[in-house]
Amino acid sequence: MSNRTTLIDNNTWNNTHIATVGKFFLSNEEEGYEIAQSLGANYVLRVFGGQAKRRDELPGFLWYVRIAASVFKTIDEQEFYKNRDFGISKEKLSDKFANSIFYKTLYYRFGEVPSRYGYGYDKMRKAIIGHKDFTLTHFKEVYTSKSWIIRIYEILPRSNRGPTFVAPPRKLWLQTDPQHSAASGLEHKGGETYRYFEPKL
């Protein structure tokens, strides 16, 4: 994959690392972004079969939850269920799952895709997704294949700019004593000649 180091490649010797990546996918965008930064991740690769009717990552989602919960004890699997069921339809989609990075990076913009059953119809699950209208703040879609099977997102870098600095008015020092028009804003005081100006930032 273009000489990129992967964080997960079926090597399960480090359970804490696997659990951390799992927690990333379970988290909402703000929390997950912090985890991604701590891992030094730049991109997220997803395999999605909802448009092409192919097997994908979704059937294994609850294992993400269970592995992450084995290390991070605050994770509660029941929060990902609705009406004692787990799924993507409005009747089964929990708020926790709908706001997770896992769900959002699979279904981003999928609600715009038409079908004979309506917009956002997942052919693999045979259901219309329950959460369609959302945006991404820290992730940028950089590639989606024609069949939507492969989806790649860039994890946007942190902004390194602080609040805009507003400089106070300055005095512009003039070395000579030219003749000034009234409109110039300059005054001759018998000594130094100067005027105030607001710097343009």
pLDDT per 10-residue tile (average), the chain, 201 residues: 70 82 96 94 96 95 95 96 96 98 98 96 98 96 96 88 41 46 55 44 39
Is residue 103 situated within a structural domain?
A: yes
CATH of the domain at 53: 3.40.50
The pLDDT score that the predictor gives to residue 178 is 52
* 88 and 182 part of one domain: no
The pLDDT score that the predictor gives to residue 187 is 54
What pTM was estimated for this model as a whole? 0.76
* 21 and 103 part of one domain: yes
* 102 and 136 part of one domain: yes
Among the listed residues 2, 1, 21, the one whose alpha carbon sits nearest the alpha carbon of residue 10: 21
Residue with tokens 């699950």: 125
Provide the number of structural domains found in the chain: 2
3-state secondary structure of 155: strand
The pLDDT score that the predictor gives to residue 14 is 80
The pLDDT score that the predictor gives to residue 176 is 47
What is the enclosing helix (H) or strand (E) of 47?
Answer: strand 43-47
The pLDDT score that the predictor gives to residue 42 is 93
Q: Provide the residue range defining the domain that includes 119.
A: 15-155
3-state secondary structure of 107: helix
The pLDDT score that the predictor gives to residue 172 is 41
* 131 and 192 part of one domain: no
Is residue 151 situated within a structural domain?
A: yes
How much is the CA Rg of the chain, to the nearest whole Å? 27
Q: How far apart are CA 145 and CA 46, in angstroms?
A: 11
